[in-house]
Amino acid sequence: MAQNMYDNEAFFKEYIQLPRQVKGLDGTPEWPDLQSMFPRRLEGKNVADLGCGFGWVSRYCIEQGAAKVLAVDISGKMLSKARTFPSNGITYVQGDLESFNLDFDAYDFIFSSLTLHYISNLARLLSEIKFALKPGGSFVFSIEHPIFSAPRNAKFIKDSEGHSVWPLDGYFDEGKRTTNWLAEGVVKEHHTVSSWITKLLSARFTLWQIKEWCPSEQQVKENPMWADEQQRPSFLLIRVVKDVPTLEQF
């Protein structure tokens, strides 16, 4: 059974105050890049949102015309909050992605934001996603970038000239990282970039797009506290496809 930190009272209290949860996609700085990796048309499509949280992207897909969205999360608190928003076309299901089963050949598009770095049996989940996608279907996901997740003490330090430096260590030491982000003892999984790509290729996906997110000059101008985010990538965004998409699916 996976850790369910988002149902921890103290963690959840902090989490719901993050700008990306208060403002939704408008408060999610990597959203424009992530959204640009989506299939061009979602009208009539069948979508799954894995680790849906408050369901921001599930609702976006419905607004774009998706026929239905299966939105899965392990946290009852996250799902309760998601259900307070209009949920026409969305089926929320509480489930653990470590063991969750998806229907065969059922989805045109599968999405997951900032969730896969919590999963220990990635090979199982990736092959489940491949199994559930229709031929030509896409899987788009974001994770904490491995340069961000690797260090034992993941905090910027100042060098002798006062520049912010990210103390990268442990990069090749894959496995669990226990952090004190929002609450003590949050467990995440670290893998190198090549390991992520190898796992996707081993599941027989075709790599379609990959982006290392960094805020634009305009975003830093509007949010000066993001300046340090230009020093190292914080998120890795990936689109893979099952077989080659047709023009309509692209």
Ligand X SMILES: C[S@@+](CC[C@H](N)C(=O)[O-])C[C@H]1O[C@@H](n2cnc3c(N)ncnc32)[C@H](O)[C@@H]1O
Chain positions contacting ligand X, by CB under 6 A: 2, 6, 51-54, 56, 73-75, 78, 96-98, 113-115, 118-119
Burial of 101 (0-12, 13-18, 19+ CB in 10 A): exposed
Q: Which two tokens stand for residue 9?
A: 């009272």
Q: Which CB atom, from 5 or from 240, has the smaller least distance to ligand X?
A: 5
Q: Quote the DSSP letter at residue 170.
A: -
Q: Which CB atom, from 51 or from 245, has the smaller least distance to ligand X?
A: 51
Q: What separation, in Å, do the N-terminal and C-terminal C-alpha atoms of the chain show? A: 36
Q: Which CB atom, from 37 or from 78, has the smaller least distance to ligand X?
A: 78
Q: Which CB atom, from 48 or from 245, has the smaller least distance to ligand X?
A: 48
**Any idea of the CA torsion for 100, 130, 30, 27, to the nearest 10 degrees?**
-40
> Cβ 160 to ligand X, closest distance in Å?
35
**Any idea of the CA torsion for 215, 218, 221, 227, to the nearest 10 degrees?**
20
Q: Which CB atom, from 48 or from 214, has the smaller least distance to ligand X?
A: 48
Determine the number of helices (DSSP H) and then strands (DSSP E) in the chain.
Answer: 9, 11
Tell me the residue number closest to ligand X, measured at CB.
53
> Cβ 29 to ligand X, closest distance in Å?
12
CA distance 229 to 222: 14
> Cβ 158 to ligand X, closest distance in Å?
28
CA distance 107 to 140: 13
Q: Which CB atom, from 107 or from 118, has the smaller least distance to ligand X?
A: 118
**Helix, strand or coil, per DSSP, at residue 157:** strand
Q: Which residue has the tokens 């996976």?
A: 2
> Cβ 163 to ligand X, closest distance in Å?
29
> Cβ 75 to ligand X, closest distance in Å?
4
| Selection from 62, 53, 51 nearest residue 22 by Cα | 53
